[in-house]
Amino acid sequence: MKNWEKNVRKVVPYVPGEQPKEDHLIKLNTNENPYPPSPKAEQCLRELEISAFRKYPDPECRELIQAISRAYGVPESRIFAGVGSDDVLAMLFLTFFHGTAPILFPDITYSFYDVWAELLRIPYETVPLDEEFAIRPGDYQRENGGIIFPNPNAPTGRLLSLDLIKEILDANSDSIVIVDEAYIDFGGESALPLIDQYENLIVVRTFSKSYSMAGMRIGYAFGQEHLISYLNDVKFSFNSYTMNLPALKIGAAVISDQEYLSMTKNKIIKTREWFSKEMRALGFSFSESASNFLFVTHEKVDAKELFEALKKAHIYVRHFRKPRIDQYLRITIGTDEEMQTLVAFLKEYL
């Protein structure tokens, strides 16, 4: 090892789902929305003036934050925006997880959490889910430097009720609690109303799932004013111009179209319920999902072998080679036609 290599920060990176380039595939491995974004996105894109690109975008993201404020009825001072929820979450880790006690998150969850903790040298402990992959609030009633979990959880799809979230908050008044709601639009009740009651709560959202804007990279967070102020201080110390001009303008247009959001998410929920019945009839087991995916296993089928067989048929799902879940597949809910094709393949395969 050369001397300079001793100073390199080495981490095991996050591994995203495959982004295959082949044509005529069914892509159900990254929880993308199968439907296009609101027509307002294309309209806004056409109206963008190229000459505006010569200037820096608004570092305060005012147009986008104002639109988010109108959509959710939350004051602008309680909203933060960033480059996808990954960027928002990274800023949250950097801002609030700075103590010596370990932060806590589930052992089966979004696999970026431990990557950020390792990268930023934040002590952490993973808290085992129960046998049915549910979070047990009592496990979080101990000393910690902060708590974060998705709701619904990923990749399990399990939802934690507001009463149980309150139980975690009540037991951790001296810790920041982050609820990552990337999938909340597909089922369940948001923790957003609780920010009035809990000064240590931050709720994170994204445009990538229900708003069909994964390619644009827009995330946002809600919290009381003092939390958003701390977050902005770190952002402006790190990179003032995190969000580009098209993202700010198109994001503002898309989030204003709540009618379109309701239509597409209801289509996904309806397809999910149909697909769930079909999968159970085929012998697959899984918990009720409140997200836009199912997390399934089959007692007679090896998950990795099925993953590879699907891939050969140009159907991409997600397989995690990790303890406790290596016999599970996470399957995104696509269009009716895509899910029917998948079910037909599974019937023949089984």
Cβ atoms within 10 Å, residue 259: 8
Question: Is the domain of 148 the same as that of 227?
Answer: yes
CA distances to 94, 105, 120, 180, 339 from 221, rounded to whole Å, are 15, 18, 20, 9, 32
Provide the whole-model pTM. 0.95
pLDDT for the residue 319: 97
Question: Is the domain of 74 the same as that of 115?
Answer: yes
Give the span between the Cα atoms of 43 and 48, in whole angstroms. Answer: 9
Q: Does pLDDT of 24 surpass 90?
A: no
Domain boundary among 256, 272, 301: 256
pLDDT for the residue 133: 96
Q: What is the largest CA-CA distance in the chain?
A: 60
Mean pLDDT of 291-302: 98
Query: Domain with 202 in it: what CATH number?
Result: 3.40.640.10
104's enclosing H/E stretch is: strand 103-106
Q: Does pLDDT of 18 surpass 80?
A: yes
pLDDT for the residue 40: 97
Domain boundary among 256, 282, 304: 256
Structural domain harbouring 237: 39-256
| Segment 310-348, tens digit of pLDDT | 999 999 999 999 999 999 999 999 999 999 999 999 999
Domain presence at residue 243 = yes
CA distances to 68, 135, 161, 287 from 131, rounded to whole Å, are 38, 10, 18, 11
Average pLDDT over the chain reads 96
Domain presence at residue 337 = yes
Q: Does pLDDT of 13 surpass 90?
A: no
Q: Does pLDDT of 1 surpass 80?
A: no
pLDDT for the residue 21: 82
Question: Is the domain of 196 the same as that of 331?
Answer: no
> Could you tell me the end-to-end alpha-carbon distance of the chain, in angstroms, rounded to an integer?
51
Query: Domain with 29 in it: what CATH number?
Result: 3.90.1150.10
Q: What are phi and psi of 273, to 5 degrees?
A: -65, -40
Q: Does pLDDT of 154 surpass 90?
A: yes
| Segment 206-219, tens digit of pLDDT | 999 999 999 999 99
Mean pLDDT of 8-35: 89
Count the domains in the chain: 2
Give the span between the Cα atoms of 58 and 75, in whole angstroms. Answer: 19
Question: Is the domain of 58 the same as that of 25?
Answer: no
- pLDDT band at 116, cuts 50/70/90? very high
Question: Is the domain of 212 the same as that of 324?
Answer: no
Domain presence at residue 127 = yes
Residues 6+ apart with CB under 8 A from 289: 152, 157, 158, 187, 272, 276, 295
Q: C-alpha dihedral over 327, 311, 84, 163, to 10 degrees?
A: -30
Domain boundary among 256, 284, 300: 256
Q: Does pLDDT of 272 surpass 80?
A: yes
Residues 6+ apart with CB under 8 A from 270: none
Give the span between the Cα atoms of 15 and 2, in whole angstroms. Answer: 27
| Segment 175-228, tens digit of pLDDT | 999 999 999 999 989 999 999 999 999 999 999 999 999 999 999 999 999 999
